[in-house]
């Protein structure tokens, strides 16, 4: 049995003049979180809708939990949970009524559906609001109810389409906690997001989609490595030693680069950064700093942020990256 719980090949979908999906391949390993990143209109939601059996692609094949999405959608539906981009709870129903209805549609008996609803409402901190209509809920509470609704059937695969858009940072981290717990309990999660931070925090692997095509598929660290390489950052204890630090670090700079004082907006001044090729440079840099008598309060190797990766990938020509991708996926 394949260890891939989501597998899609060559998905194409056109809406009028827009080619929403232009040959998307996806692969997600069981028990992992796959982050699907991309700018607005990249095709993320369309891809999720195809995998969640809501939309038939014009071309291509897809399997979820080992079942063909196009041939046996009902069997797929018993194994997935979906939380859409917009909280799709029924506002006139109470929290309990929303979840019991989903349970009944999943063929639970009414008493099991009620038990499951109570359990999930408790878990999502909605027990007190259980008897209130969802229209009285705050945005965060609605999102939680929506997520709870997608978990009623103990799904093997959970699709979350921008689950934290519009949530404040504390609520977002609550959501992350939920996602992590689901994964430790054996579920696999495919999540689309526009927040790189979210993908970095949750995803085991990241797929970057742009203009209906996959332009990268790698681990978060792998992506970071592909784009920028490592940076060594040093902060001298005495700010007046910055020129000395620059001189020392120039010696370990990757070919064709040099050390520079950090001047990025918002960064605390007084640090020095240098692009390096690998972590062995520490063996040279640390003794060299000591010999020069530069005391440091900070010395660290950084991968580029996913922000930088994302911009590098989406601003470059997608076609150029496509070939590399075919090997990776």
Partner 1 sequence: MTTLDIPVRPITGDIDRPRGGPVAALARHSVALARRSLIKTVRTPEALIDVTLQPVIFLLLFTYLFGGAIAGGDRHAYLQFLLPGMLAQSLAMGGIALGQNLNADIEKGVFDRFRSLPVARSAPLVGAVAADIVRYLTVCLVMLGFGTVMGFRVETGFVPAVAAVALSIAFGLCFCWISVWVGMLVRTSGAVQGVMFLLVFPLAFGSNVFVATNTLPGWLQAFVHVNPITPLVATIRGLLVGGPVAGHLMATLAWMAGLLLVFVPLALRAYARRA
In this complex, which beta carbon is closest to partner 1, that of residue 48 or of residue 281? 48
How far are the Cα atoms of 115, 176, 298 from residue 77, in angstroms, in the given order?
21, 24, 52
Count CA atoms closer than 13 A to 4's CA, side-chain side.
15
Name residue, tokens 């996913």: 306
- In whole angstroms, the minimum distance from the beta carbon of 80 to partner 1 comes to 7
In this complex, which beta carbon is closest to partner 1, that of residue 68 or of residue 107? 107
Among 153, 163, 220, 304, binds partner 1 (CB under 8 A): 153
* DSSP annotation string for 210-261: ETTEEEEEE-HHHHHHHHT-EEEEEEESSGGGHHHHHHHHHTTPPTT---EE
- In whole angstroms, the minimum distance from the beta carbon of 194 to partner 1 comes to 18
127: how many CB neighbours lie within 10 A of its CB?
Answer: 15
How many residues belong to the chain?
329
- In whole angstroms, the minimum distance from the beta carbon of 95 to partner 1 comes to 13
Report the candidate in 263, 270, 265, 282 with the shortest Cα–Cα distance to residue 243. Answer: 270
- In whole angstroms, the minimum distance from the beta carbon of 312 to partner 1 comes to 33
Q: Are 252 and 232 in contact (CB under 8 A)?
A: yes
In this complex, which beta carbon is closest to partner 1, that of residue 138 or of residue 319? 138
The two structure tokens encoding residue 133: 């209509």
Number of residues that bind partner 1 (CB under 8 A): 45
In this complex, which beta carbon is closest to partner 1, that of residue 68 or of residue 92? 92
Residues 61 to 120: which contact partner 1 by CB under 8 A? 74-75, 77-78, 80-82, 84-90, 92-93, 97, 101-102, 104-107, 119-120
296/251 Cα distance (integer angstroms) = 17
- In whole angstroms, the minimum distance from the beta carbon of 81 to partner 1 comes to 8
Residues 26 to 65: which contact partner 1 by CB under 8 A? 49, 52-55
Residue 181 contacts partner 1 per CB under 8 A: yes
Among 8, 33, 117, 149, binds partner 1 (CB under 8 A): 149
How far are the Cα atoms of 56, 311, 313, 314 from residue 210, in angstroms, in the given order?
20, 11, 9, 7
Binding mask 299-318 for partner 1 (x = CB under 8 A): --------------------
Point out which residues bind partner 1 (CB under 8 A): 49, 52-55, 74-75, 77-78, 80-82, 84-90, 92-93, 97, 101-102, 104-107, 119-120, 122-125, 133, 149, 151, 153-154, 174, 177-178, 181, 185-186
């Amino acid at each position: 049995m394949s260890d891939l719980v989501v597998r899609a090949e060559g998905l194409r979908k056109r809406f009028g003049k827009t080619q929403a999906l232009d040959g998307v391949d996806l692969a997600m390993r069981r028990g992992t979180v796959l982050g699907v990143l991309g700018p607005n209109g990249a095709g993320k939601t369309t891809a999720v809708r195809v995998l969640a059996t809501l939309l038939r692609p014009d071309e291509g094949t897809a399997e979820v939990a080992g079942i063909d999405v196009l041939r046996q959608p009902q069997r797929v539906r018993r194994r997935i949970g979906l939380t859409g981009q917009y909280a799709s709870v029924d506002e006139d129903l109470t929290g309990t009524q929303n979840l019991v209805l989903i349970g009944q549609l999943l063929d639970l008996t009414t008493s099991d559906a009620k038990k499951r609803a109570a359990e999930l409402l408790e878990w999502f901190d909605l027990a007190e609001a259980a008897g209130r209509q969802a229209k009285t809920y705050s945005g965060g509470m609605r999102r939680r109810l929506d997520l709870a609704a997608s978990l009623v059937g103990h799904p093997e695969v959970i699709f979350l389409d921008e689950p934290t858009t519009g949530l404040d940072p504390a609520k977002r981290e609550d959501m992350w906690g939920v996602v992590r717990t689901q994964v430790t309990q054996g579920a696999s999660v495919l999540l689309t997001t526009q927040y790189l931070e979210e993908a970095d925090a949750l995803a085991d692997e990241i797929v970057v989609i742009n203009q209906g095509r996959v332009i990268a598929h790698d681990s978060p660290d792998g992506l970071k490595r592909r784009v920028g390489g490592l940076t060594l950052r040093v902060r001298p204890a005495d700010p007046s030693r910055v020129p000395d630090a620059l001189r020392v670090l120039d010696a370990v700079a990757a070919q064709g680069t040099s050390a520079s004082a950090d001047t990025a907006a918002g960064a605390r001044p007084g640090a020095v950064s240098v692009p390096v090729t690998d972590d062995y440079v520490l063996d040279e840099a640390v003794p060299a700093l000591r010999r020069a008598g530069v005391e440091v309060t900070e010395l660290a190797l950084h991968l580029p942020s996913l922000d930088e990766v994302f911009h590098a990938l989406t601003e470059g020509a997608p076609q150029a990256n496509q070939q590399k991708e075919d090997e990776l996926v």
